[in-house]
Amino acid sequence: MTFLRPTLLTLACLLASPGYADDLPSLGDASSAIVSPQQEYQLGRAWLSLLRSQVKQLNDPQLKDYVETTVYKLVETSQVQDRRLEFILIDSNQLNAFAAPGGIIGINGGLFLNAQTEGEYASVLAHELAHLSQRHFARGVEAQQRMQLPMMAALLTGIIVAAAGGGDAGIATIAGTQAAAFQEKQRFSRQNEQEADRIGILNLEKAGYDPRNMPTMFERLMRIYRFDAKPPEFLLTHPVTESRIADTRNRAEQAKPGGIEDSLRYQLIRARVMLSYEDSPGLAAKRFRAQLDENPKSDIARYGLAIAQIKGSQLNEARENLKLLLAKSPNEIIYNLAQIELDISSGRLPDAVQRTDRMLAQYPGNYPLRQLQVDLLGKQNKPAEAEKVLVDLLKTRSDDPDIWYQIAETRGQSGNIIGLHQARAEYFALVGDYKQAIQQLDFAKRRAPNFQLASRIDARQKEMIDQERLVKDMMGG
């Protein structure tokens, strides 16, 4: 955590320098004169790579796809102008979510544990997107006597400390700095919170949700954490008070009834997240089985039980539960994904291939399905075909480090050593390790069989060297 403080602060200073900002666009407001939207974008992407290197992440493709789909649904009806979003799902059962400058959307697994319905989950994200669209970070910097981007960087440092589980020790690391002092003061103001609530409620309604989900979520959070000595990070930065709940309730009640409150898909995804925080698949299976005993018609409990059984190698039992679910909903993508996973686990590769092909005909662009296709091709010892699927995924997921990591693996398996090093370089760059990225391109360049390929590798390496130089300059050489 110690290296993050100088990196982020000097990054901010560099981006704030006059020479860097000469040709950047301005929204025309006072905050844009200090921190332009393009500066926010650059800072956010640099910060994201550092965050990725510091926190454990949830890499479940189904969870990633669900979050991205629902957030973009909210963004489509929001005031967010720059829709170049990047997502990070943090493996923590603590409640937190944030929308950081530059379109960075972060969600802890704990959000799913606390939000009992899709509407409640969406209400938290609608609120965070309102902070983003209203540029509350940049406006907060403006309010601090025009101290420019270092102050925004301090806010982001605070998020990293919390997300990485730094706790008191992590906070102590930055406590002696001017930035840390600012970070302690720069909670979202009451006015900003009210504005984010108001805009979030309007956006919830426009996106088809019942805005009453927002005060309902706040009410439960207040009940759960009222007496906690150390509430979750989300409540530290977004305090919930009786007056705030009353205000959101009054605003939400003005909306017409009939909006979305929940969905089966949210509950199925929530079951997957809950399973990941059980101590063992056996304990998870026991809990889902108890729910099923209480309500034998609960598809959610049956699905959770089936996934727990797959993870616990109770494959025959899982097959019986999935058979019942698929009999009711034969085209439900989540059930079919589970069946493909089960067939792969039990060595029934022809069955998995047949089901994958059938589902791809119905859902050709489905990311989790394509990801399972890659896993299946790997089991069939077809790395070249797996690479083709992954390269196709790059068309829409070019900044996903998980995809680049898998491409490196498939290239290694097929003997494409140059391509292996190139893919590793892209992976390391996305997680902020430019030294390793540049070294990987060195390895690739040495093996290049012709001048043209060597030149392309060299050009990419120079780009990464420039990025590394920026970081070194930010850290004072």
Annotated binding site for Zn(2+): 127, 131, 193
Question: What is d(CA 138, CA 233) in angstroms, rounded to the nearest whole number?
Answer: 21
Q: How far apart are CA 302 and CA 308, in angstroms?
A: 10
In degrees and rounded to multiples of 5, residue 342 shows phi and psi of -65, -45
Residue with tokens 């009054």: 250
DSSP 337: H
Spatial distance between the Cα atoms of 378 and 386, rounded to a whole number of angstroms: 7
Cβ count near 277 (within 10 Å): 14
125 in Cβ contact with 71 (< 8 Å): yes
Instruction: Choose, from 118, 142, 197, 233, the residue flagged as catalytic.
Output: 197
Task: With CA atoms as reference, report the closest residue to 55 among 12, 98, 106.
Answer: 106
Residue 35 Rama label (left phi>0; alpha psi -120 to 50; beta): beta
Annotated binding site: 127, 131, 193
Spell out a b/e string for 78-113, using b for 16 or more CB atoms within 10 Å of the CB, else e.
Answer: bebeeeebbbbbbbbbbbbbbbbbbbbbbbbbbbbe
Which H helix or E strand runs over 108?
strand 104-108
The position carrying tokens 């905050």 is 31
C-alpha dihedral, 370 to 371 to 374 to 380, nearest 10°: -100
- 128 catalytic per annotation: yes
What does the buried/exposed string (b/e) look like for 352-378 if buried means 16 or more CB atoms within 10 Å of the residue's CB? Answer: bbebbeebeeebeebbbbbbbbbbbbb
Q: Which residue of the set 60, 68, 118, 128 is catalytic?
A: 128
Q: Could you give the C-alpha distances from 264 to 223, 294, 300, in angstroms and in order?
A: 26, 18, 8
Identify whether 399 is a catalytic site residue: no
* Active centre residues (catalytic): 128, 197
